[in-house]
Structure 1
Amino acid sequence: MLLVYSLFLPLFAQPTWALIEGIYCGLENCYDVLGVTRDATPREITKAYRKLAREYHPDSNKDDPTAHDKFITIATAYETLKDEETRTEYNSMLDNPDQIYRHYYRYYRRKAPNVDVRLVLVVTISVISAIQYYACWYRYHEAISYLVTVAKYRNMAIEIAQDRGLFDTGKNKVKGNRGVKEEMKSFKEQVIRDIVAENMDIQGGYSKPDIYCILWVQLFTWPYQRVLDLKWLTLYFVNHTIFKKPLGREQKLYKIRKNLKLSESQFNYLEPHQINEYLDLKLWEKDSFDDYKREKEEEQKLLMANNAKLKKYKRWLKNHGTGRMTFED
């Protein structure tokens, strides 16, 4: 009989290693804290909690230094067992002590503030879009500020301003007033800056901000752009692959961009004369592109062969090697 009891005891007794320190009631069983069984009804749990809360309330046990900690444990046990979902998760922890990380996740997920994921996405995308636009404006103004200091562009801007009569104001005739002179100087600088910004076509990372580069706009226009791309590729396949029609300028540029392995934005930043050169070389044709690529590789090899620093490195590599240490190092 004793043997049978020892065999079936683990099935009814809750092992201490099923409890996890730091969550729920810690290393104490919430049911044992309230003095109830796992089959207790919500009414029995509430009744047991109220009885223990009156007994161990700190105001009623001012002389007992452990009363406060006991009361906190009792309140935690009640908060765990009064809610049906929390009680189910706690029972799952008792029944599945090996799933430690899952219990931690459930516990802290319930403790975390309940925030709508959609709101988080909207705020995140809005912040990213605002940072994008601000960064674009900042880089653009930095580029304009630099171009204003370049003598070539500054002199051209001054000539345009003089031709338009933008410097002709009544304040030019005022003499001896330092404040007016400073104001006039600032006004002229602003005119020069505006003319430079108006006439300069800045490409690349310092180009003028475009609303279509913002993440919000890209997300909204993405389906429309994909439909346009699919339509263009379909027409390209039908007209030039099936019916073998001659390529137009747009189709030639598309094949050139694919051969050069450039993105659409990178290709758009190329200078017009460079694009015309690619068209003259017929780089949309595979043979022409292979010849062009071979010539560029030969030019690169020749350039590297005539590079003084590279020659010096090759001599060092030949005399010393990479795996040898000398006092010259």
Structure 2
Amino acid sequence: MSIRCSTGIGLDTFHIEPACRIFVKRSINSYAMIDELYCGHEDCYKILDVHRVSTKSEISKAYRIMARKYHPDMHKTEEEKEKAAEKFRIIANAYEILKDEDSRSDYDFMLDHPEQVYSHYYRYYRRRMTPKIDVKIVVVVTLIVVSVFQYLFARQRYDTAIKYLVTTPKYRLRALEQAKLTGLLNKKKPKNKAEAKEETENIIRRILQENMDIKGGYAKPKFTDILICQLIFLPINVIKYVIWYIKWTWKFNICKKEYGEKEKFYFIRKNMKIKEHAFEQFTDVQKKEFLKCELWIYNNYKKWQEKKDEEMKKQMAENGRYKAYRRYMKQHGPGRITFDDS
């Protein structure tokens, strides 16, 4: 019994009759192999004396056996060592290709689809050139770096605020008075004036840090405010928000209860379009005025804001610097370059 086989090999086509596949397997593999890719014209499986169905452990075992056999240190003469080193390099290259599941999959794809030449080049060099770093590690490291810079920047702003308070006479005198009352300045004095001055400055700074409640952008940084902590606690915060929203809807939308002071301040902040830490900078007197004017109602807030804008315009109109600025803008106009020829 004889079987006639026909193959057509070209750049774009490669067709083999199903009945003839077993007879032309060797020719397919030889056609698929390219000098610059993988093991060149040699079969990576044959180099390690394994098969395509071999498991990862079997490939590792075969590599260890051949590595011991062809390791340069196992040979005596220089000529034998050079030959063994070349063979060892080929074995190691084949093992690097077959030990990795993705690389092995690409190699098997090349053997099965020899006609897709450009695809083989792309797959091979993409695997070789792409950094072998887990994306999760990159994301975590990036978050840590951003969080560290965020904390350091916030710490710098806080230190700037403390330095300003230390040099402000009003806060400085209060800190000195408290230091005297607590006996911090009555301790054993340093040897010279420079040490005494430095010790006094440190005491003032420490008292201000302990007693001043700085809010807003210059507030004392907390680790819970940095990005990575916010992402870690995001599920908990989402759950808290959902619970808060359900309670709010039940209490005020369904049961129609009156707003408390906390809820009124929430709507006032919403009307002013400011965050909680910015709202906390208002004094208690100002907050009482907000409640008195019922600013949680948007129409009342709009009228109140228009009134404030009018007062601000009047104050600016009476201000000497603003008058001078308006005269300058009237005479010269915005963005105009003038020359004084006098």
CA gap 1:244/1:20 in 2 versus in 1, 3 angstroms: farther
Task: Say if 2:255 is the partner of 1:243.
Answer: yes
CA distance in 1, matches of 2:280, 2:33: 64
Asked whether the 8 Å contact 1:61–1:67 carries over to 2, the reply is no
CA gap 1:315/1:240 in 2 versus in 1, 3 angstroms: farther
Task: Say if 2:162 is the partner of 1:144.
Answer: yes
Displacement of 1:203: 1.5
Secondary structure at the counterpart of residue 259 of structure 2: coil
- Equivalence for 1:174: none
Indicate which of 101, 104, 119 corresponds to 1:87: 104
Asked whether the 8 Å contact 1:144–1:197 carries over to 2, the reply is yes
Secondary structure at the counterpart of residue 308 of structure 1: helix
Indicate which of 203, 206, 228 corresponds to 1:191: 203
Indicate which of 140, 148, 153 corresponds to 2:171: 153
Which residues in structure 2 correspond to 1:49-68 (within 5 Å)? Answer: none
CA distance in 2, matches of 1:186, 1:317: 50
Displacement of 1:33: 11
Code of the residue aligned with 1:80 in structure 2: it is I
Which residues in structure 2 correspond to 1:140-289 (within 5 Å)? Answer: 140-169=158-187, 171=189, 179-215=191-227, 217-289=229-301
Deviation digits for residues 188-210 of structure 1, max 9, x if unmatched? 22222223323322122222233
Secondary structure at the counterpart of residue 98 of structure 1: helix
CA distance in 2, matches of 1:313, 1:93: 78
Q: State which drifts further: 271-280 or 247-256.
A: 271-280
Deviation digits for residues 18-37 of structure 1, max 9, x if unmatched? 9595x634xx344399799x
Asked whether the 8 Å contact 1:236–1:251 carries over to 2, the reply is no
Secondary structure at the counterpart of residue 14 of structure 2: helix
Quick one: percent identity of the two aligned structures? 32
Code of the residue aligned with 1:147 in structure 2: it is L
Indicate which of 101, 104, 119 corresponds to 1:98: 119
TM-score of the two chains, using structure 1 as the length reference: 0.64
TM-score of the two chains, using structure 2 as the length reference: 0.62
Displacement of 1:295: 4.6
CA distance in 2, matches of 1:319, 1:122: 52
Code of the residue aligned with 1:145 in structure 2: it is K
Secondary structure at the counterpart of residue 157 of structure 2: helix
CA distance in 2, matches of 1:30, 1:269: 76
Task: Say if 2:115 is the partner of 1:112.
Answer: no
Displacement of 1:224: 3.6
CA gap 1:82/1:180 in 2 versus in 1, 3 angstroms: closer
CA distance in 2, matches of 1:158, 1:194: 11
Asked whether the 8 Å contact 2:98–2:104 carries over to 1, the reply is yes
CA distance in 2, matches of 1:230, 1:264: 19
CA distance in 1, matches of 2:284, 2:207: 23
CA gap 1:244/1:152 in 2 versus in 1, 3 angstroms: same
Secondary structure at the counterpart of residue 196 of structure 2: helix
Code of the residue aligned with 1:24 in structure 2: it is Y
Q: State which drifts further: 258-267 or 69-78.
A: 69-78
Indicate which of 299, 308, 326 corresponds to 2:325: 308
CA distance in 2, matches of 1:264, 1:193: 27
Deviation digits for residues 181-230 of structure 1, max 9, x if unmatched? 43333322222222332332212222223343244554454444333332
Asked whether the 8 Å contact 2:30–2:41 carries over to 1, the reply is no
CA gap 1:84/1:159 in 2 versus in 1, 3 angstroms: closer
CA distance in 2, matches of 1:308, 1:87: 75
CA gap 1:92/1:203 in 2 versus in 1, 3 angstroms: same
- Equivalence for 2:14: 10
RMSD: 5.2
